[in-house]
Amino acid sequence: MNPLTWYDAPVRALLGGVFVLLVIASLIGRGLARRPQDGAGRATIENLNARIRAWWLMCALVAGALAGGLSGAVLLFGAISFLALREFVTLTPTRRADHEPLFWAFFVFLPLQYWLVGTGWYGMFTILIPVYGFLFLPLRSALNADAQGFLARTARTQWALMVCVYCVSHAPALLTLELPGFDGSRVALLLWLLLVVQLSDVLQYVWGKLAGRRPIVPRLSPNKTVEGFAGGIGSASLIGTLLAPVTPFTHGQAFGIALLVCLLGFAGGLVMSAIKRDAGIKDFGAMIEGHGGVLDRIDSLCFSAPVFFHVVRYFWSP
């Protein structure tokens, strides 16, 4: 894939829209910071501005990587998967017998998965981890003859590899799809997914702060409310519909698919919240200011990217 997709009008329009949103958010954040606040209010505004600063950095990284087309996307998401896998694995204690399976996960299956995505080898990248990784990793662990907690240890490694590598790798895989009759850029299609999913997260947060009253699952994530869920997912789905011209979808199809990926994103966030509750932590890490770890930021993408990829491939690709 040529890096010239960077210059496509839909890509420029999407990135320009993100730039405008970030400028507006930054101005609002600065304005709020100048107002007198009590302790709790000041902490909330500081967190908001930290999130906005992090969004500037994250958007710059994505824009820079996608300027390189498929190669840039593979490198970017490969690095994201590596960092997310590291965060996931460090949640739970490991035994000496786990070190070699983890080496295979980090330094064999992860790069091989992204190499297969980069070469467009669909038939292999869709089965490498769920078939060969699933069978190989427990065997490699069993050869170390440590049966204590074997099932739980193996399941954690397999699940981490599936969520952090296999699922995330479907995002750059969108750039390998052939879409007959679609004159737009596949980079724009990937940006559409990222925008809809991430805006859903942001808007659920905003709607929850403005009107949130009733928690959906208070024992797992007390900040997720019915009002935030409905307002955020509805708003993000409408934005996805308005952005239909940069995709191969009609406006009706764009709304249905945007709603689907937003619901899947919510599901991903909820599942990851359950994992964090089980581990007794608030965030997976502290790498991204105001957001927590890498996995905290991509939890919704983990669930939405593979389903979105296969929906597009099944209905729009030969």
**Residues 6 or more apart in contact with residue 167 via CB below 8 angstroms:** 301, 302, 303, 305, 306
pLDDT in tens, 153-180: 999 999 999 999 999 999 999 999 998 8
> Is the pLDDT reported for residue 4 higher than 50?
no
Residue 244: the pLDDT is 94
C-alpha of 253 from chain center: 22
Q: Which structure tokens are listed for 281?
A: 């932590």
Question: In whole numbers, what is the pLDDT of the chain averaged over residues?
Answer: 89
Query: Would residue 242 count as lying in a domain?
Result: yes
Element holding 159 (H helix, E strand): helix 150-161
> Is the pLDDT reported for residue 39 higher than 70?
no
Query: Would residue 141 count as lying in a domain?
Result: yes
> Is the pLDDT reported for residue 5 higher than 70?
no
**Residues 6 or more apart in contact with residue 145 via CB below 8 angstroms:** 97
Please state whether 2 falls in left (phi above 0), alpha (psi between -120 and 50) or beta. Answer: beta
> Is the pLDDT reported for residue 7 higher than 70?
no
Percentage above 90 pLDDT, the chain: 53
The pTM assigned to this predicted structure is 0.92
Integer CA distances (angstroms), 134 to 84, 130, 269, 275, in order:
19, 5, 24, 20
Residue 220: the pLDDT is 79
Query: Would residue 3 count as lying in a domain?
Result: no
Residue 256: the pLDDT is 97
Residue 290 pLDDT class (50, 70, 90 cuts): low
Residue 222 pLDDT class (50, 70, 90 cuts): confident
Query: Would residue 58 count as lying in a domain?
Result: no
Query: Would residue 272 count as lying in a domain?
Result: yes
| Residue 234 structural domain | 69-316
Classify burial at 296, counting beta carbons within 10 Å of its beta carbon; exposed 0-12, middle 13-18, buried 19 or more.
buried
- Number of domains the chain contains: 1
More confident residue, 58 or 184: 58
**Residues 6 or more apart in contact with residue 234 via CB below 8 angstroms:** none
Query: Would residue 213 count as lying in a domain?
Result: yes
Residue 286: the pLDDT is 80
Residue 102: the pLDDT is 94
Residue 35: the pLDDT is 77
Residue 41: the pLDDT is 66
Query: Would residue 126 count as lying in a domain?
Result: yes
pLDDT in tens, 302-311: 999 999 999 9
CA distance 103 to 196: 34
Residue 272: how many other CB atoms lie within 10 Å: 22
CA distance 97 to 104: 13
Residue 6: the pLDDT is 53
More confident residue, 134 or 285: 134
CA distance 114 to 299: 19
More confident residue, 151 or 279: 151
Residue 40: how many other CB atoms lie within 10 Å: 8
Query: Would residue 184 count as lying in a domain?
Result: yes
Report the interhelical angle of 251-279 vs 226-242 (nearest 10°).
140
> Is the pLDDT reported for residue 1 higher than 50?
no
pLDDT in tens, 40-57: 667 778 877 888 888 898
> Is the pLDDT reported for residue 221 higher than 60?
yes
pLDDT in tens, 173-195: 999 999 888 877 789 999 999 99
Report the pLDDT averaged over residues 128-147: 93
